[in-house]
Structure formats: structure tokens, C-alpha cells
């Protein structure tokens, strides 16, 4: 029996799973680590902690089947900056995706035409290029020592194989990649003060990049390029073709929309990235999703509260803007703030609870609309996916059936399966291994009500923007 290990390098922990060729899980293991915040808006981690965790996971999952492990692949937190010197030593702690120190550098990049012309995307503080500029301006000695720049998962792969590589889906989030033509942008590198030679070799996510070093005891295992966390999750949910959609409802929310072709201009509103299937995807990110429910029920109501139904869907007259920590897509406004609109003496607690759910769902629909693509159905994942209320509201606001699956975390392992020839392509692999369960069929009458509610919702941000 052939086995494949997928590693998910997250912000709070590193998780791994080993699956057989049919997608059956043989074992899982995770190792936690911390995040350092040495100053306001700073978020850093030690790459050595990632490496230690990954080695523990490989040993645990391969125990007793070392010779049967055929492939390893890593999915990882995106955008993080890892800098290595000429001896491959880590120069400074990695600057993570949720680090906000590079606001000044982000404004600079968005103020020059080359950024969008070269990458097809708008700059955000979380992206890698603004971080490089920050180090250049604030830590010049560290910048001078830098000989290699890579992303978190690619540092792990380099340590495990000795091959300096990345994949297109993760590289797209660096703001150094010409996404349309799938090559490093020499001009963006010049703007950031680096050279293309400092960056990893580019691969498709499912391509083999090298072999696992002998010291790890996996003599028959190769490494595949892997993917950014969202693209890997999309593989695990079978979100691979136009019309598919995966929605993550965690602290933040994401809408993932596969595309066969590059859509020019879409990156001004959404992230316009490469997908792990060799094609492209659009992705909308809202900064507050299920966290709005946590804020409302636990901080304001001081307890869980879910005693409401969709009987009053889009009929309460109450609207909620979920911009508790600013908003990324489609507004890109760090100053945006949340609000209840339409309260009256007749407004009930149930009305306000429903409005919170509806507001988040409207924000997700805002992202889908900005993408300009049609959606047939959606897979809901993340913590909020377990809630029947979230499922029902999102389904009826978007007007699509909602599915759930338990295989989202196995996307990295699926990439290894394809890379090793277990399956000819990702669609075939997903058709065989991904098990989707219908959670909610949308109600056309309720959806029509939400269509009218969405028209009101769209008018609120432009009006309130002037007072933020």
C-alpha cells in the first residue's frame, strides 16, 4: 500500500495527516507553537519551531511504514517573509501574514503603476513585498545579509530536501509574481531591492521538486511543491472548476472562486492568484466572519444565543455591517467599522442576531459579485461550517446549495498523490477521495427576499464611509 503525508503549516500549529491511495486516513498528528508580538502590529515566528514541528510529524506519521511513504507535500500560511544568509541561516524571525507594520510600504506600492501592471494585484500589508521593503528601510544590516527569500512552507521544504522551490499559488501572494504569465517579475524585484536569483524556482503545486533527505528515513519519498493554505484547502474540498466555490467561515472569511483563465483587472478588488490545479482563482477575504457572532453573543449578550429562524429573513429592517476590524475585500478600507442600521422600538434580540448572520453573508456575497463569475454550489468549511444557522443563511443569501466535507485538511496529501502518479490529475483525485454532504438546499422564495435586502446592504458602506 502506498501512503502520502500532507503537512499543514498554520499560524498556531503544524498539522499532518497520512492517507492511503484511496484517501483513507491512517493517522494525524499536530504540534503547537507560539507567535511573538514584539511591538504593536508585529507578528513573528521562529522558522526553527516550524522545522521542529514538521520533523516530529514526519516521524510520528511514518512510524512502521517508512518504506511505503511515496510522497510528501506541504500546505502553508501564506505571505510570510523568511530571509536566509549565504550559509542558509535564518537572519531574523519570520514576519507573518497578519503582521501590519508595513502600512507605509504598502501605500508606496499602491501608489506606483508597476505594482498592478506587473502582478495583477493590489498591495496589502500582509503581502511579502511590503515586508521586504520594511526590512530594507528599517533593518539595513539584515537586508544586506540576505541571499535567499522564501515563504514559510518553502523554508520547510528546503530543509527537508535541499531544493529551493515554491509553487505558483503561494508565490502569487508575495506580490513579486507576474501571475498571468507565471514568472517572477524582475521589475517588482528591482523595486524591492532584490534580484530574481534570490527567489525559489517555480513549480506547479502537484509537481515533484526533489527527494526527502536520507536522514529522515523515508527512502522512497519525494517532495511535491505544495500550495498556499487556501489553494490546498480548495483541493481538499474539490473546488477546482469554474462554478465551484468554497467558503471558509473562521475568524475571518474567504470566498474561493476557481477560474480556467486569468481575469485581467479582477485583482483591483479581489486577490487574483494562481490555483494549485495549474490554473487560476479569485479570492475575496473579509476580516470578520464567524468572529462577528462571537463578538455579539459572548461580549455583548454574554452568552450563546441562537434562538432565531429564517422566518423573518430580510424582513426585520435591521442591517449589520461586519467591519469590526476594517475590511479587505471588496473595499480595502482599514478604517471601516461595524454598524447596526435600522433599529426601532420594535427591534428584538432575535432580529439583531439574525442581522449579524445576514451581514456576514451579504459581505461574502459582495465578494462573489465582485468576482463576476457564476457559482453553482458552495462548500462551507471552517468553524462556522458546523452551524446549521450559518449554513442556512449563507445558502439563501447566495442562492446556492451548501455542502460540507471533512477532507479540506487533506489537500496537501492529495497534491502528493497526483505528483506521485496515484491519480492522473487533481479532478480525478478529488472525485475519488473527496466526500461532500449536502447540508442545505436554498429556498428560492427566501433567496428573492435576500436579493432585495442585498440591494439595501450595498448602499450602506458608501454612505457610512464618510464618517469613519
CA atoms within 13 A on the CB side of 270: 29
Q: Where are the alpha helices (DSSP H) in 63-195?
A: 103-110, 113-119, 128-138, 140-145, 152-161, 168-171, 186-192
Q: At 274, phi and psi to the nearest 5?
A: -80, 145
Cα separation, 357 vs 228, in Å, equals 28
Angle at 98 between CA 454 and CA 384, to 5 degrees: 45
Cα separation, 459 vs 285, in Å, equals 20
Q: How many CB atoms lie within 10 A of CB 377?
A: 18
Residue of 40, 4, 51, 46 lying closest to 24 (CA atoms): 4
Catalytic residue among 154, 167, 229, 351: 229
Cα separation, 206 vs 397, in Å, equals 35
Contact 433, 22 (CB under 8 A): yes
Cα separation, 129 vs 119, in Å, equals 11
| Helix or strand run (H / E) with residue 427 | helix 426-433
Annotated catalytic residue 229: yes
Residue 374 neighbours by CB under 8 Å, 6+ apart: 242, 243
β-strand 246-249 against 377-381: which pairing, if any? parallel
120: phi > 0 → left, psi -120 to 50 → alpha, else beta; which?
A: left
DSSP string spanning 218-261? -TT-EEEEEEEHHHHHHHHTT--SBTB-EEEESSSEEEEEEESS
Residue of 396, 405, 451 lying closest to 237 (CA atoms): 405
Grid cell digits, residue 364: 461574502
Residue with cell 510529524: 57
Cα separation, 93 vs 58, in Å, equals 24
13: phi > 0 → left, psi -120 to 50 → alpha, else beta; which?
A: beta
Residue 181 neighbours by CB under 8 Å, 6+ apart: none
Looking at the annotation, which residues are catalytic?
229
Amino acid at each position: 500500500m502506498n501512503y502520502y503525508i500532507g503537512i499543514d503549516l498554520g499560524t498556531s500549529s503544524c498539522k499532518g495527516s497520512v492517507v492511503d491511495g484511496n484517501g483513507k486516513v491512517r493517522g494525524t498528528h499536530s504540534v503547537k507553537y507560539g507567535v511573538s508580538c514584539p511591538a504593536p502590529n508585529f507578528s513573528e515566528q521562529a522558522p526553527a519551531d516550524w522545522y521542529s514541528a514538521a520533523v516530529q510529524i514526519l516521524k510520528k506519521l511514518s512510524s512502521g511504514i517508512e518504506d511505503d511513504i511515496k510522497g510528501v507535500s506541504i500546505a502553508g500560511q501564506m505571505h510570510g517573509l523568511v530571509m536566509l544568509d549565504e550559509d542558509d541561516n535564518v537572519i531574523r524571525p519570520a514576519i507573518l501574514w497578519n503582521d501590519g507594520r508595513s502600512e507605509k510600504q504598502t501605500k508606496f506600492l499602491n501608489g506606483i503603476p508597476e505594482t498592478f501592471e506587473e502582478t495583477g494585484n493590489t498591495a496589502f500589508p500582509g503581502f511579502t513585498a511590503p515586508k521586504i521593503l520594511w526590512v530594507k528601510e528599517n533593518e539595513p544590516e539584515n537586508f544586506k545579509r540576505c541571499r535567499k527569500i522564501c515563504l514559510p512552507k518553502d523554508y520547510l521544504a528546503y530543509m527537508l530536501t535541499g531544493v529551493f522551490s515554491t509553487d505558483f499559488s503561494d508565490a502569487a501572494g508575495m506580490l513579486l509574481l507576474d501571475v498571468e504569465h507565471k514568472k517572477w517579475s524582475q521589475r517588482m524585484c528591482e523595486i524591492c531591492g532584490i534580484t530574481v536569483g534570490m527567489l525559489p524556482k517555480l513549480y506547479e503545486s502537484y509537481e515533484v521538486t526533489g527527494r526527502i533527505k536520507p536522514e529522515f528515513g523515508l527512502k522512497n519519498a519525494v517532495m511535491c511543491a505544495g500550495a498556499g493554505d487556501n489553494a490546498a484547502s480548495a483541493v481538499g474540498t474539490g473546488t477546482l472548476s469554474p462554478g465551484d466555490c468554497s467558503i471558509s467561515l473562521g475568524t475571518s472569511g474567504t470566498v474561493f472562486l476557481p477560474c480556467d483563465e486569468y481575469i485581467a483587472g479582477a485583482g483591483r478588488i479581489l486577490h487574483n492568484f494562481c490555483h494549485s490545479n495549474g490554473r487560476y482563482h479569485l479570492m475575496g477575504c473579509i476580516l470578520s466572519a464567524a468572529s462577528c457572532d462571537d463578538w455579539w453573543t459572548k461580549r455583548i449578550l454574554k452568552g450563546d444565543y441562537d434562538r432565531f429562524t429564517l422566518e423573518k429573513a430580510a424582513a426585520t429592517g435591521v442591517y449589520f455591517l461586519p467591519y469590526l476590524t476594517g475590511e479587505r475585500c471588496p473595499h480595502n478600507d482599514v478604517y471601516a467599522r461595524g454598524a447596526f442600521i435600522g433599529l426601532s422600538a420594535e427591534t428584538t434580540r432575535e432580529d439583531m442576531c439574525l442581522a449579524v448572520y445576514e451581514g456576514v453573508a451579504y459581505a461574502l456575497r459582495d465578494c462573489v459579485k465582485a468576482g463576476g463569475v457564476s457559482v453553482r454550489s458552495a462548500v462551507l468549511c471552517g468553524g462556522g461550517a458546523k452551524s446549521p444557522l450559518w449554513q442556512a443563511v449563507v445558502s439563501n443569501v447566495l442562492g446556492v446549495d451548501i455542502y460540507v466535507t471533512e477532507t479540506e485538511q487533506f489537500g496537501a496529501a492529495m497534491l502528493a498523490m497526483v505528483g506521485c502518479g496515484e491519480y492522473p490529475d487533481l479532478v480525478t483525485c478529488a472525485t475519488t477521495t473527496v466526500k461532500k454532504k449536502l447540508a442545505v438546499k436554498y429556498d428560492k422564495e427566501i433567496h428573492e427576499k435576500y436579493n432585495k435586502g442585498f440591494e439595501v446592504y450595498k448602499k450602506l458602506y458608501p454612505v457610512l464611509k464618510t464618517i469613519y
